[in-house]
């Protein structure tokens, strides 16, 4: 347990949490929606500090980050809990462990920030990824790890639902180098309200703008849920916003849905649907469009937007840089794509 960041007293012993966009107002003894932040006598505490349910190396492509330190490994860590309640969650056993009554107390193995950094170096990873559950629910630990990591020239990446406050992004921006922001259901508001219990999705767009402002490298994923979250008009609206506000070089991943948790009645997203949506996304102006959770189709590789040269070849989580020179330029036409091969530490 550790005193939380980003909160303030509002009246008496009540506090407001300013970490995620829910901005929970908590009476003394009350837990936030995430169930891992608690008001104790007028002070907000993070209950899960250093309590990790996952800690190990991954290919960075698993995040997925296709354009940030490609063909490298990232040390992944996670704490249990979430500030969403997605009915389709693939990691619900850890994200919803408290809501589903699978644990009556905070779960996880104890780690210190130094131990995480030492393990990252031991495994030869170039980055640490805060992933599997929502990083903001273990923000204090992530912040301390990230701050220590940069001293060792280790990059930091979030895999996030984006539902954090601009204040949270400002706080960690100095140490956060990249983020994968996960949309669901083509960013349809009704879908979010019904299947993730999220009242408004504007904070996600605000987060993306703040990340851009802070020069955090961005990739975007979009989980396509058949029948209830696969409308083409919603995708076009989302892509237009990305092109208009972030540019057309943002890597965009369309993810295949698989039945799980409380939505096991649906079928997996048809591959034909994903291919159609990928074509629409490209027609709407994005240069780098990928399909995830479907190995073996030619929507994993990265090609030069200018000449079509193969830049990065992928198969599942395995990747190989084949068409970039040491400065990150296409070795055929000299074009410099939106790919980070090396992080510049301040």
Q: Do residues 139 and 10 both lie within one domain?
A: no
| pLDDT at residue 241, rounded to an integer | 98
In this prediction, residue 298 carries a pLDDT of 80
Residue 333 belongs to some domain of the structure: no
HEC-encoded secondary structure of 179-230: EEEEEEHHHCHHHHHHHCCCCCCHHHHHHHHHHHHCCCEEEEEEEEECCCEC
List, in order, residues 6 or more apart from 247 with CB less than 8 Å away.
none
Q: Are residues 87 and 31 in the same domain?
A: no
pLDDT in tens, 107-133: 999 999 999 999 999 999 999 999 999
Tens-digit pLDDT profile for residues 64-89 = 999 999 999 999 999 999 999 999 99
| Whether 258 and 192 share a structural domain | yes
Same-domain status, 189 and 262: yes
Count of domains observed in the chain? 2
pLDDT in tens, 179-227: 999 999 999 999 999 999 999 999 999 999 999 999 999 999 999 999 9
Structural domain harbouring 6: 2-46
| Residue 134 within any structural domain of the chain | yes
pLDDT of 102 reads 84
What secondary structure letter does DSSP report for 333?
T
- Domain-ending residue, one of 46, 63, 81: 46
* Same domain? 105 vs 40: no
Answer whether residue 92 is part of any domain: yes
Residue 332 lies in a domain: no
Kindly state whether residue 346 falls inside one of the protein's structural domains. Answer: no
Asked if residue 245 and residue 151 are part of one domain, the reply reads yes
| 167 and 301 together in one domain | yes
What is residue 239's three-state secondary structure?
helix
Same domain, 107 and 8: no
Strands 2-3 and 43-46, sheet pairing: antiparallel
- pLDDT value for 309: 98
Q: Which among 271, 197, 285 has a CA at the least distance from the CA of 241?
A: 285
Residues in the chain: 346
pLDDT value, residue 103? 82
Could you list the pLDDT tens digit for every one of the 346 residues in the chain?
999 999 999 988 999 999 999 999 999 999 999 999 999 999 999 999 999 999 999 999 999 999 999 999 999 999 999 999 999 999 999 999 999 988 889 999 999 999 999 999 999 999 999 999 999 999 999 999 999 999 999 999 999 999 999 999 999 999 999 999 999 999 999 999 999 999 999 999 999 999 999 999 999 999 999 999 999 999 999 999 999 999 999 999 999 999 999 999 999 999 999 999 999 999 999 999 999 999 888 899 999 999 999 999 999 889 999 999 999 999 999 999 999 999 999 7
Domain check: are 121 and 183 in the same one? yes
Q: Is residue 329 part of a domain?
A: no
Q: Are residues 262 and 208 in the same domain?
A: yes
* CATH, residue 152: 3.20.20.70
pTM reported for the whole predicted model: 0.96
Q: Based on the domain organization, do 17 and 125 belong to the same domain?
A: no
Structure tokens of 170? Answer: 């400002």
Residues 124 and 220 in one domain: yes
Residue 285 domain flag: yes
Mean pLDDT of the chain: 96
């Amino acid at each position: 347990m550790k005193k939380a960041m980003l909160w303030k007293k509002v009246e008496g012993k009540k506090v407001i949490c300013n970490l995620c966009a829910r901005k929970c107002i908590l009476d003394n003894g009350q837990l936030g929606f995430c169930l891992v932040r608690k008001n104790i006598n007028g002070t907000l505490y993070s209950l899960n500090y250093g309590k990790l349910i996952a800690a190990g190396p991954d290919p960075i492509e698993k995040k997925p980050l296709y354009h940030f330190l490609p063909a490298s490994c990232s040390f992944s860590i996670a704490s249990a809990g979430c500030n969403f309640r997605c009915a389709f969650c693939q990691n619900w056993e850890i994200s919803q462990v408290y809501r589903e009554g699978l644990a009556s107390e905070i779960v996880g193995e104890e780690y210190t920030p130094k131990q995480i950094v030492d393990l990252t170096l031991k495994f030869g990873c170039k980055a640490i990824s805060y992933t599997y559950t929502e990083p903001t629910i273990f923000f204090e630990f992530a912040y301390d790890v990230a701050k220590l990591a940069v001293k060792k020239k280790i990059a930091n990446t979030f895999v996030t639902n984006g539902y954090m406050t601009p204040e949270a992004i400002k706080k960690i921006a100095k140490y956060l180098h990249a983020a994968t922001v996960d949309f669901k259901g083509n960013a349809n508001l009704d879908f979010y309200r019904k299947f993730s219990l999220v009242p408004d999705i504007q904070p996600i767009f605000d987060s993306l703008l703040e990340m851009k402002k802070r020069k955090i490298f961005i990739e975007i994923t979009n989980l396509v849920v058949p029948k209830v979250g696969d409308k083409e008009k919603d995708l076009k609206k989302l892509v237009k916003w990305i092109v208009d506000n972030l540019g057309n070089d943002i890597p965009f991943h369309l993810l295949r849905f698989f039945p799980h948790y409380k939505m096991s009645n649906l079928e997996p997203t048809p591959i034909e649907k994903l291919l159609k949506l990928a074509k629409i996304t490209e027609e709407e102006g994005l240069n780098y469009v990928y399909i995830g959770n479907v190995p073996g189709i030619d929507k994993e590789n990265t090609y030069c937007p200018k000449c079509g040269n193969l830049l990065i070849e992928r198969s599942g989580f395995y990747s190989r840089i084949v068409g970039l020179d040491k400065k990150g330029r296409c070795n055929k036409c000299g074009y410099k794509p939106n790919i980070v091969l090396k992080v510049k530490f301040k």
